[in-house]
Structure formats: structure tokens, C-alpha cells
Structure 1
Amino acid sequence: MQGLRWAGLVLAWLCGLAHASMGLTELPATAQEGPVTIYYPSDSASRPEPRGRFVLDVAADGHPVPGNGRLVVISHGSGGAPWVHADLARELVEAGFVVAMPLHHADNYLDPSDPGPDSWTIRPAEVSRAIDAVGHDPRFAPLLRLDKVGMFGMSAGGHTALSLAGGRWSPARFARHCDAHIAEDFQSCVGLITEQTGGPLDGLKRWLALRVIHFRFDDDTPRVDHDPRIAAVVAGVPAAADFDMDSLVRPAVPLGLVTAGRDLWLTPRFHADQVLAACQTCEHLADLPDGGHGALLSPPPPGLHGLVGELLNDPPGFDRAEVAEAHHKITAFFQRHLLP
């Protein structure tokens, strides 16, 4: 009889999730921290809501309902927004997770003024403080157990993910990578400031870029981050060339990877492929062989053009059904490692 009772409770929970909508709310910025966007199971009615360039079907500030008791934090890429991972958030919410997305300081769609190693240094602590903020909110604190938290990051957020999985890196390693490979991995070193065109000015662009990089990033002190609550991590198309790969041979927590074969921003052989080659315990959750750097932006930002469009828009022939399948595998990874 006891077994039947628990089976009935589980069935009722699953049926509740099947009919739940996706709630959306924001913990406001403080003097020290940016806002944190939260997606969560809700029993309130959803409706189309404009957010940035997107319209999302959500229950804005809807009433939260119990899910599976676990939190996943998503770290966006450089210049990113909370909306470009809404499809992954929905997949996670439908599986019962609460999803939190901090807006990273000076490296977001409202303020893209300081991407790169300066941002990478502070991002892990911003993830930890987002966990704190959700845990202190009276709407969500009773619904969550924060001893086992999941973390997903894409691009610069993937760098954050590798850091929180136990990876060591330093700004000087970034500079040494650019010294050795700036021609082959130019956008990784300079971001959106400029691009190589194959013309006579390319050499000058590389020389100037290296002068700036050497001036700003000469600190060889290893960055090591840890939050004991983070129990499973997924890195999507991560910035990784500045990591000591020995630190990622056996990550501190289960680590999943998602890769894209036609990534023009972070040349795979210097980034994700290096992690795959070094890591002995990682799970290669999904490879998108025809996907570009923006493949995991879902919904994809509309109307991108120029250099940012070249780097983030889908290459011809890429099938976005592969992104939905990657979301399934990411969600299953967190279910395996965070539940029960």
C-alpha cells in the first residue's frame, strides 16, 4: 500500500508538470549585483510577452508550483541576454527544474563594455550569488534544495562552466594563446572589434590586437573557482584555449560538452576539441557538425547582420531540430546527476 501511495504521488506530480506553464520573473538588480531572470513551473496562465527582440509564451510573475526541487543556473555568452536560452529553459522547466540566469556585469546585451578575461574572472562568483539570491527569495526557497545545483554555460558562459567544473586558467594563458594563434583564432582574441578580411591591413590588426592584449592580460595567477553546491555542469561551445588542460582531465563534477563544427568565433580545435581530447570523464552530449557558434542560441536573435551576423547566424543547411535534440540531452544529463 505504501508503494501504491508513492506511485500515486509521483503520478500526480508528473501530471501537474505536464499541465504547468513556464513562469518568468526577475529578481531586481542591487547595488552590487545585476538582475537575475528566473524561469519556473507555474500554475498561472501563460500569454505572449515581449522581451527584448523576442515574444515568449510565459506566465509573467506567475504563481510558482513545486517541481523536482532542483535549480539550474545558465551563464550567457558575451553580450548575451536571458531570452536567448528560453527554449532550453522551457525544456528544463517542463522536467521540473527552476532555471536562473544572472546578467553578467559589463558583458551583456545592455552593457557589452568589458568582455573577455576581466568578465571571465568575476563570472563564477556571479553564478554563486545568483544561487544565493534564488535561495533567499520567499517564493522559491521552500521549493528548492540547493545542495545539488546544475550549471550550463555557452561561449563565455561555457568558460564559466569549465571554471566551476574545476578548470584552471589565467589571463596570461589567454595572451600566450593569442601570441601563438591569433591568425587562426582571431575572433577569439579580439571579439567583435574588427575582423580579418584577407587584405593588407590584417597584419596591422593582429599587431595592434596583440599590443592591447599584452598590456591588459599579463597576470599568470591561476584562477580557480569552486562552489560546493554545483554538482553537474554542461559547457556549450566553450571558450577554453586559456585553460590548463591538466586541470580538466578529471573534472571535479560531472561535465557534459556540446560542440559545433562550424564555429567561426571560437575555432573548435583550440577550444572545445582541446577539452574533449584532455578530459577522460566528460560526456560529449551533442555535436552539431553543421552548427555555428550561435547554434545554441534558441530562440536565435533575429536581424543580425555584419560581423555579429556572420559569427552567430546559422550556416546554410543547419537543421535547428538538432538544437532541440541537444536540449533533450542536456536536460537528461541534469536529471541523471541531480535527481533524486
Structure 2
Amino acid sequence: MRRFSFSSLFFLLLALCCGWARASMGMVELPAAPGDGPVTVFYPSADAAQPIKRARFTLDVAVQGTPAPGNGRLVIVSHGSGGAPWVHADIARSLVEAGFVVAMPEHKADNYKDDSDPGPDSWTMRPAEVSRAIDAVARDPRFAPLLRLDRVGMYGMSAGGHTALSLAGGRWSPAAFARHCEADLVNDFQSCVGLITRLTGGPLDGIRKWAALLVIRHRFGDDAAPREHIDPRIAAIVAGVPSSADFDMASLAAPRVPLGLITARQDRWLIPRFHSDRVLAACLPRCELIADMPTGGHGSLLSPLPPDLTGLVGDMLNDPPGFDRASLLPEVNRKTTAFFSAHLLP
């Protein structure tokens, strides 16, 4: 794996003492292109930030602020199922403070406004949506002069982590997803069915398992065509708590670009032994474990975490007991930012 060069360290020190280190975080939404959702962009800005409301979140940003020169590099963030840009505002801020521009595409039919088609259908479309988000930023006259797009970073969490592994050279298929669920439905139930229902240990569990397998086999069991998507502009990738049970692990043994992983031992949505642990077993030492959170759950990388989550979604996303969000998340974001700085800066 590539490590810090002298020039990378110089850029980091420069960010700490001058320039973009004093900039606020700007935010603008690029309008949706035909067939795609909008792209939310965070970036260094010389304009003053102000508190704004987005959904249930208050963000301190300069809306439509004038972009300021940063380090010349772009990082794309791919959200999880039903996700939104706002739950990745803290990693965006860490990257912006280091000089990066951060762009977040809204994945079709698998976002907070429309979650009608998550899973393999969305996973098939997402990598190309990432590529088109790079194109959208490249077309914008505010950002194009400030960026060199020959080396782009990509960060994805959960379903976005699946996207990240695809862009790192991983191959998967809907049929492999179906095979995993047939083999390990009970032990990895939420990975296979999402948040539609859960197993309770009661008399209806048999019906739930029968119905889940019926739908999964019907929709995905016959589609064995491998999915893969390469964008040569993407030069470093981070996958956080990735959905990955359906990948051919041989395709991840030698990632095509530097690949970092973030794992959470208490993840109950994507059980590590079926997902992130298998990726690490396949790719180490040719990938890097950026952070392992022994007390972290599936939602522990969401920052800020959506407030007042209850029911099944709360059980899956709220922090487990003992997780010290206030001290651990800034350190994970710092390490993630350092990974991109090491591999993307001159």
C-alpha cells in the first residue's frame, strides 16, 4: 500500500496553518440530470457558514457559498440504503477541512425520499451513478477550475460500501446474493430482507423465512451475470461496514486501487463474519484496515446519527451500549481523511 509521501505531508501541514483550514464548509445541490438524482456538494468556502435545517438535522454550512481553492481533489460519497447526504456531514467536514471537495449522489429508488427498490437492483445501478456524479461536478463551472479529476477518491457506507467494493474491482451477482440468503438466511436475516420484518422466535418466523426466500429466489436467483464497473478516475476507495456477502472474494484479493476498510464488531444488520470479515480475509495485506470499532454498530459511521430512531430501524442503527461516539468518530474520520490524503495528493 502507498504511504504518506513528503509532498502529502506538506499539503496536510499547509492545510493546518493557512488557506482552506480557515475556510467554512460550503454546500450546494447540483440539479438532477435525466434519470439521476441531485448531487450534493460540500467544499471549502470563504463565505460565512450559518445554521440551516435539512430534514431532522441542523448543519453549519455556507449554502451556495463561493468555492475557495482547496487541494484540487474530489471524493465521492455513496450513502447507504434509504440514506441522505446529511448523515455523512461529519466525514464531509473532515475532508473539506483537509481541502477536498466532497460530492454525494442521491441513489435512485434507494434514498430517504424514495426507498422503493433497495438491494441488488440498486447495487447494479450505483457504480455508474458514482461515475455520473464525477461528470456532474466536472461540468459545473464553479468546481471544474479547482479540481484535477485524474485521481478521485470514493467512500461508501453499508450499501454504499457495496458500491465501493464494486469500484475497487469486485464482482458480484444477484444470484450470489440469493445463494447467500438460502444458506444463511437465519443468521444474516436483516442483510437479506432489510427492515421489512425481523425474526422474533415466535410461531410466525417460519412464514417470514418462507416468504423471504420465495421473493429472493423469484427476483434474483436466476441472474448470475457478474456485475462490475471500473472508473479509471477513481484512485482510492474506502468501504465502511460494507454489504459484501454476494461478492466473488477472489475478485477482491488484489484491489485495483488502494482500498481501506472500516468495520464494526457489533453490527447486527451486516454481520461482520458474512461481510466485512470476508473482505478483509480476501484482500489483506493488499488492503488496509483503517479502523475496527469493537463497540460500534451498523449505524455508528452515520455522523450525525438520525435522532429518536425506534423499532427495528433503531435496533439496527442506534449506537450499542458502550460506544463512545464523541471520541471515536472524530478519530475514524481523521484516519479516513489521512488515507485519502496519502493516496490522492501529489
Matches within 5 A, 1:251-330: 251-280=255-284, 281-320=286-325, 321-330=327-336
Confirm whether residue 132 of structure 1 aligns to residue 138 of structure 2: no
Conservation of the 8 A alpha-carbon contact between 2:67 and 2:142: yes
How has the CA–CA distance of structure 1 residues 207 and 47 changed in structure 2, closer, same or farther, with 3 Å as cutoff? Answer: same
TM-score (norm 1): 0.96
**Secondary structure of the structure 2 residue equivalent to 1:50:** strand
Structure 2 letter corresponding to 1:95: A
TM-score, length basis structure 2: 0.94
Pair 1:333–1:11, CA change in 2 (3 A)? closer
Structure-2 residue corresponding to 1:339: 345
Superposition deviation, residue 14 in structure 1: 4.6
Partner AA of 1:277 in structure 2: A
Q: Secondary structure at the match of 1:83?
A: helix
Question: Which of 224, 229, 250 does residue 225 from structure 1 map onto?
Answer: 229
Secondary structure at the residue paired with 2:62? strand
Specify every segment of 5 or more residues in structure 2 that has no aligned partner in the other structure, as ranges: 1-9
Give, in whole Å, the separation in 1 of the partners of 2:113 and 2:247: 28
Is the 2:15–2:21 contact (alpha carbons within 8 Å) kept by the matching residues of 1? Answer: no
Task: Supply the AA of the counterpart residue of 1:274.
Answer: R
What amino acid does structure 2 have at the position aligned with 1:39? Answer: F
Matched with 1:199 is 202
Q: Distance in 1 between matches of 2:114 and 2:15?
A: 44
Pick one of 85, 88, 97 that aligns with 2:88.
Answer: 85
Superposition deviation, residue 12 in structure 1:
8.7
Is 1:44–2:44 an aligned residue pair?
no
Tell me the CA shift for residue 11 of structure 1: 4.9
Q: State, as a whole percentage, how many aligned pairs show the same letter.
A: 71
Conserved 8 A contact 2:240-2:262: yes
Compute the RMSD of aligned alpha carbons. 1.3
Give the one of 95, 105, 108 matched to 1:105: 108
C-alpha distance after superposition, 1:2-30 (max 9, x if no partner): xxxxx9xx859951212100000000113
AA in 2 matched with 1:313:
N
What is the distance in 2 between the residues matched to 1:310 and 1:334?
A: 32
Instruction: Give the 3-state SS of the residue equivalent to 1:325 in structure 2.
Output: helix
What are the ranges of 5 or more consecutive residues in structure 1 without an aligned counterpart? Answer: 1-6
1:121 is aligned to 124
Question: Post-superposition shift, 1:253?
Answer: 0.5
Amino acid at match of 2:264: A
Bigger RCO of structures 1 and 2 (CA < 8 A, at least 6 apart): 2
- Aligned pair count reads 333
1:170-209 to 2 correspondences below 5 Å: 170-209=173-212
- Letter of the 2:330 partner, please give it: A
Matching residue of 1:65:
68
